[in-house]
A and B are shown apart, each in its own frame.
Chain A
Amino acid sequence: MESKYEAVIGLEVHAQLLTETKIFCGCSTKFGNPANTNVCPVCLGHPGVLPVLNKKVVEYAVRMGIATNCTINKKSVFARKNYFYPDLPKGYQISQFELPVCEKGFVDIVCADGTEKRLGITRIHLEEDAGKSIHDQGSETLVDVNRCGVPLIEIVSEPDMRTPEDAYLYLTKIKQLVQYLGVCDGNMEEGSLRCDANISIRPKGQKELGTKAEVKNMNSFRNVEKAIALEIERQIEIIEEGGRIVQETLLFNADTNKLASMRSKEEAHDYRYFPDPDLIPTIISEEWKKQISDSLPELPDTRKARFIEGYKLPAYDAEILTGQKELADYYECVLKETNDYKSASNWVMGEVLKTIKEEKIEISDFPVSPENLGKLINLINKNVISGKIAKDVFPVLLKDNRDPEIIVKEKNLVQITDTGAIEESVDKIISSSPNQVQEYLSGKEKVLGFFVGQIMKETKGKANPAVVNEILRNKLNTLK
Chain B
Amino acid sequence: MLPYKNHQEKLNLIKSGKLSLLENVKYFLDRAEEKKDINGFNFVFKEDALKSALDIQKKIIQGNAGRLAGMVIAIKDVLALKDKQLTCSSGILKNFISLYTGTAVQKIIDEDAIIIGKTNCDQFAMGSSNENSFFGNCLNPCDLTRVPGGSSGGSAAVVAAGLCDAALGTDTGGSIRQPAAFCGIYGLKPTYGRVSRYGLTAYASSFDCIGPMTGNVDDAELILSVISGFDPKDSTSMNIEPALSGKDYEQTSKYKIGVPKEYFAEGLDTEIKLRIEEYISFLKNSGFEFVNINLPYTQYSIATYYILTTAEASSNLSRFDGARYGFRSDYEGSLADMYTHSRSEGFGEEVKRRIMLGTYVLSAGYYDAYYRKAQQVRRLFKNDFENAFKQVDLLITPTAPTSAYKLGEKSNDPLQMYLGDIYTTSANLAGIPGISIPAGVNKQNLPIGIQFMANHFQENKLINISRFIENNFKNGK
Contact = CB atoms under 8 A, between A and B. Distances in A.
A and B co-occur in one complex: yes
B335 A86 contact: yes
Contacts of B96: 47
Given A52-B233, A272-B362, A44 B324 contact: yes
Which of A44, A50, A143 has the most B CB atoms < 10 Å from its CB?
A50
Interface string A221-244: 000000000000000000000000
* Secondary structure dominating the interface of B: loop
A311 to B, nearest CB: 49
Interface in B253-281: none
A46 B367 CA distance: 27
B193 to A, nearest CB: 10
Given A50-B197, A86-B323, A278 B236 contact: yes
A278 B315 contact: no
Contacts of A82: 314-315, 318, 362
A277 B200 CA distance: 14
Which of A49, A86, A143, A280 has the most B CB atoms < 10 Å from its CB?
A49
Given A82-B318, A278-B235, A48 B205 contact: no
A143 B79 CA distance: 27
Contacts of B324: 44-45, 86, 89, 143
B430 to A, nearest CB: 15
A89 B232 CA distance: 22
Interface stretch (B3-11, B62-70, B97-105, B408-416): B97-105
A48 B319 contact: no
A282 to B, nearest CB: 10
B93 interface: yes
A45 B197 CA distance: 15
A47 B204 CA distance: 13
Given A89-B319, A278-B235, A272 B359 contact: yes
Interface in A60-112: 80, 82, 84, 86, 89-92
Contacts of A92: 315, 318
A47 B235 contact: no
Given A82-B315, A91-B315, A272-B362, A48 B323 contact: no
Contacts, number: 103
Contact of B98 (A46, A53, A91, A270): A46
Contacts of A90: 318-319
Interface in A256-307: 270, 272-274, 277-280
Contacts of A143: 323-324
B16 to A, nearest CB: 40
Contact of B86 (A48, A272, A279): A48
Given A274-B315, A274-B371, A48 B236 contact: no
Given A48-B200, A274-B371, A91 B321 contact: yes
Nearest to B196: A50
B41 interface: no
B318 A91 contact: yes
Nearest to A24: B235
A46 B233 CA distance: 14
B165 interface: no
Given A44-B324, A49-B198, A89-B324, A279 B318 contact: no
B354 to A, nearest CB: 15
Interface string B302-325: 000000000110110111110111
A92 B319 CA distance: 8
B206 interface: yes
Contact of A50 (B93, B198, B314, B319): B198
Contacts of B359: 272
B88 A280 contact: no
Interface string B116-160: 000000000000000000000000000000000000000000000
18 contacts: A44-B99, A46-B99, A47-B86, A47-B93, A47-B201, A47-B202, A48-B200, A50-B198, A84-B318, A86-B321, A86-B324, A90-B319, A91-B317, A270-B363, A272-B314, A274-B312, A277-B236, A278-B205
Given A52-B235, A82-B318, 10 more contacts: A47-B78, A48-B79, A48-B80, A48-B197, A48-B200, A48-B202, A84-B321, A86-B323, A272-B362, A274-B362
Sort A-B residue pairs by CB-CB distance and give the 10 closest, nearest first.
A91-B318, A277-B206, A277-B205, A272-B362, A47-B201, A86-B323, A48-B80, A48-B199, A45-B319, A48-B201
Interface of A: 41, 44-53, 80, 82, 84, 86, 89-92, 143, 270, 272-274, 277-280
Interface of B: 78-80, 86, 88, 93, 96, 98-100, 102, 197-202, 204-206, 232-236, 311-312, 314-315, 317-321, 323-325, 335, 339, 359, 362-364, 367, 371
